[in-house]
Amino acid sequence: MASGNISALERLRKSSISVRDIAAQLWCEKQMELYILHGTPFTQAMAMGRQVHAKEQEKVFVKLPVEPVTWFDRLYKWAYENYNGIMNMQKKGYCREVRIYGSINGYKVSGQIDELRLDNNKVVVVEDKTISDIGSKNGVGQRVDSDKMQLSIYKKLIDDIKHGSYTYDNFARSYEIEGKTLSAQFIQGIRTLGIKDELLNLDGIYKKMFDAIAKMPEISEIVRLRYLDRSTNELITTMDMQYDRKNLDAYLSDAIKYWSGQRDARPVSEENKSRCMSCKFFGKQCTVWWRIPNQQSSAT
């Protein structure tokens, strides 16, 4: 193993891996690790992107109007919102912000799918990305590969639940929710919504959520990327792509070697080092492709 014979999860003090982080390894694994270590600055572009997602969410999202007090309250809230969104999908045609859980090589993985949409009686997994190049497809840029990978992982995780290879029992053991109670304040709040007694606990609501996913229509082999203008929320372009499980499995097999500690984080390749120019860590925490001008001139 690399990095002192401990896993990246231990070293980074994480209990699970996000789908977004696994996909980001395709862009630059070193950058992904540094963002975890040093944090992600909240930029104006990110704020505008969140506004775009919020506007889409408001159209269909069923929000639980009770604020969680504890971590387990929050887990309940996510499951309740998932369940209601999925149950309304047949009527609305789509649902938004679906939290998804799973396992890759025994490691806990989670993420949030932007949209599940019914198309020709199949469920299409959709990811929205916001960019700033108004009215131009050029803003999509080089990140399409990592965006597609993120979508592919979401598709795999929802397939695993749909086909029974990742079940409520797997989730309950992994997140240790069996027998865990909600806060009295939170229970008092959700009781006023008329939720049935058998669903006023984590076991009940998560069993319902997993059952709803398992009973969804067939999951499409087409995954969909949508790029939206960050300022106007207007659609710039849509990309429908064939899901490639063989390619995904090969990528995940290599990506997990980083998380297990079998190897250190890789920097971006030399042929793609132009990506470094937009990285906040370039020349600071990461100097892999950093060259001081006088060193360059003396080398020539």
Q: How many whole angstroms separate alpha carbon 209 and alpha carbon 293?
A: 57
Classify 140 as helix, strand or coil. helix
The tens digit of pLDDT for each residue in 207-265 reads 999 999 999 999 999 999 999 888 888 888 999 999 999 999 999 999 999 999 999 99
Per-residue pLDDT at 86 exceeds 60: yes
Side chain identity at residue 36, one-letter code:
I
207 in a structural domain? yes
The tens digit of pLDDT for each residue in 29-46 reads 999 999 999 877 655 555
Residue 240 is inside which H or E element, if any? strand 235-242
- As given in the structure block, the two tokens for residue 85 are 């969104």
276 in a structural domain? no
In this predicted structure, what is the pLDDT of residue 171?
96
241 in a structural domain? yes
More confident residue, 295 or 113: 113
33 in a structural domain? yes
Strand pairing report for 219-229 and 122-131: parallel
Residue with the two structure tokens 């887990």: 75
In this predicted structure, what is the pLDDT of residue 297?
42
Per-residue pLDDT at 80 exceeds 90: yes
What is the span of the domain harbouring residue 245? 8-266
pTM summary value: 0.87
Per-residue pLDDT at 279 exceeds 50: yes
Q: How many whole angstroms separate alpha carbon 210 and alpha carbon 162?
A: 8
> In total, how many domains does the chain have?
1
2 in a structural domain? no
Per-residue pLDDT at 52 exceeds 50: yes
47 in a structural domain? yes
35 in a structural domain? yes
Neighbours of 244 (CB within 10 A): 14
Across-strand partners of 219? 123
In this predicted structure, what is the pLDDT of residue 218?
96
Per-residue pLDDT at 53 exceeds 70: no
Quick one: pLDDT band at residue 290, thresholds 50, 70, 90?
confident
> What's the CATH code of the domain at 164?
3.90.320
In this predicted structure, what is the pLDDT of residue 59?
63
pLDDT exceeding 70 applies to what percent of the chain? 85
In this predicted structure, what is the pLDDT of residue 296?
44
156 in a structural domain? yes
The tens digit of pLDDT for each residue in 146-191 reads 999 999 999 999 999 999 999 999 999 999 998 899 999 999 999 9
Residue 251 backbone class (left: φ over 0; alpha: ψ -120 to 50; beta: rest): alpha
The tens digit of pLDDT for each residue in 114-153 reads 999 999 999 999 999 988 754 445 445 667 899 999 999 9
Residue with the two structure tokens 């992982």: 153
In this predicted structure, what is the pLDDT of residue 83?
94
